[in-house]
């Protein structure tokens, strides 16, 4: 999967991002994802923990009837 650097276009866009996701290795909270890739029905987030230098990806899947709730994987 090719990921592109995210440009935060507005304050509203920043407020919609997942925040303080715990690092999958050390557990420290990561303020915002470093990269985001969006396509139909999903968003992939690249998280980078600067405390332990670990990187991992989290993917949110959105159902067709949406309703504003994401399913994380």
| Cα 35 versus chain centre, distance | 7
Q: Which has more pLDDT, 28 or 1? A: 28
Average pLDDT over residues 27-36: 94
What is the pLDDT confidence band of residue 70, given thresholds at 50, 70 and 90? low
Distance CA 51, CA 67 (A): 36
Distance CA 22, CA 29 (A): 4
């Amino acid at each position: 999967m090719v990921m592109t650097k995210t440009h935060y276009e507005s304050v509203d866009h920043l407020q919609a991002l997942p925040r303080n996701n715990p690092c999958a290795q050390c557990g420290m909270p990561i303020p915002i994802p470093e990269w985001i890739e969006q396509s139909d029905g999903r968003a992939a987030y690249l998280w980078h923990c600067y405390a332990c230098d670990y990187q991992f990806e989290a993917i949110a899947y959105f159902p067709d009837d949406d309703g504003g709730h994401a399913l994380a994987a």
